[in-house]
Amino acid sequence: MLLLPRALHGARGALALTSLCTSLLLSGCAQQVPESRITESKSAEGNPAERNAARGEPGNGHLERRQGSANGAAARGVAGGPVEASLVREIPGLGPVTRASIPVSARQAFVVTGEGRDSPRSGVALYERDADTGWQPVTNRWPAHNALRGWTRDHRASDLRSPIGVFTLGDAGGRLPDPGSRLPYDEDSDFEAPGTGFLGEPLEGSFDYVVAIDYNRTPGTTPLNKERPMGLGKGGGVWIHVDHKGPTQACVSLSRTHMVELLRLLDPAKRPVIVMGDALALRD
């Protein structure tokens, strides 16, 4: 994908609940950002990633942005020299089609495994690819939430399902200051989460920390970017963010502690991707 400057901030999203349906227009957690807060950054001073680099703050030295399709190229083997087949480890629970969707260049994979096609609950873990022995776990398995109605291979705006697939991860941000992210981090008050969730739980603080999932978005821009390369009908604004103890619209949510840990572990030099879907789909 072509790298663009930071685009317009804005609100998009849809919730089925009465408490939110009058204020949200498209699916995806990012759609909850208030429309009245639209601004456009036009200078290097407004670019948090460039400011970080200039000050030597977290994110310095990691401004390289990934090009190409969010789904990446098919993997054809483990990087490095020949290894005994029995010693090469694959990520557990992934079938040949899913494994082939992970780019060869990716050395980090954040795997989100849904409990069922229609379930809003998942387990997540981060893996890294070693040149000699293959994929190794970096974290324990953490609990997580996904969309209210589960998963889909054909995500649409307002369907309340999370998209199945392999997508790159390259941009982070949040309402709170950078906790030590290696990804370029956009601290902005526009990361607001108004209203309540599907279980009546408050959404406040859900966007304190986020990582943008490169589904129907332009990599190399703030997670607040409204650009939708595949069109508005395919949804967007799909993030990893702080859990509010209930299902999401399309995002993946983790506890605050685990979200901070993930931000500190994801390394753009390792070309991180997210592998996400229900357990049955990931076994393809």
Q: What is the pLDDT of residues 26-65, one digit of tens each?
A: 457 766 554 433 333 333 334 444 434 333 333 333 333 3
pLDDT tens digit string along 136-154? Answer: 999 999 999 999 999 999 9
Phi and psi torsions of 125, nearest 5°: -160, 150
Mean pLDDT score of the chain, rounded to an integer? 79
Distance CA 194, CA 90 (A): 40
Phi and psi torsions of 136, nearest 5°: -125, 140
pLDDT for the residue numbered 28:
75
Q: Determine contact, residues 58/246, Cβ cutoff 8 Å.
A: no
pLDDT tens digit string along 220-242? Answer: 999 999 999 999 999 999 999 99
Higher pLDDT, 26 or 18: 26
DSSP H or E segment with residue 282: helix 279-282
Band of pLDDT at residue 131, cut at 50, 70 and 90? confident
Phi and psi torsions of 116, nearest 5°: -170, 165
Band of pLDDT at residue 71, cut at 50, 70 and 90? very low
Higher pLDDT, 66 or 217: 217
pLDDT tens digit string along 173-196? Answer: 999 999 999 999 999 999 999 999
**What six digits make up the tokens of 105?**
């260049």
The pTM of the full predicted model, rounded to 2 decimals, is 0.74
What are the E-state strand segments in 202-255?
Answer: 210-213, 239-242, 252-254
DSSP H or E segment with residue 20: helix 18-21
